């Protein structure tokens, strides 16, 4: 479910959400993402839809800047509920 681009993105940017690293390898990152039911979403609209379904407060203009949203860099976004 979590390809190398996803795990690398998480490893590089995890300190955006957590005070210290929670994973150091791709395998650890994938395990962590599975444990917290992280979602890989295709585009801003899917992120907005996900936030609405989960009842998470957000601002449409800045939703992609939320701490729990990681830009994978290929049009996909990783969302972690922490």
Instruction: Name the pairing type of β-strands 39-42 and 69-71.
Output: unpaired
CB neighbour burial string for 12-46, b if at least 16 within 10 angstroms, e if fewer: eebeeeeeeebbeebeebbebbeeeebbbbeeeee
How long, in residues, is the chain?
A: 82
Q: What is the pLDDT of residues 28-63, one digit of tens each?
A: 999 999 999 999 999 999 999 999 999 999 999 999
pTM of the model: 0.93
Q: Please give the pLDDT value at position 38.
A: 97
């Amino acid at each position: 479910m979590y390809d190398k681009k996803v795990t690398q993105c998480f490893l590089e940017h995890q300190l955006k959400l957590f005070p210290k690293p929670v994973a150091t390898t791709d395998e650890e990152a994938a395990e962590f993402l599975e444990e917290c039911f992280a979602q890989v979403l295709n585009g801003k609209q899917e992120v907005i839809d996900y936030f609405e379904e989960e009842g998470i407060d957000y601002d449409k203009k800045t939703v992609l800047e939320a701490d729990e949203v990681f830009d994978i860099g290929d049009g996909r976004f990783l969302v972690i509920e922490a």
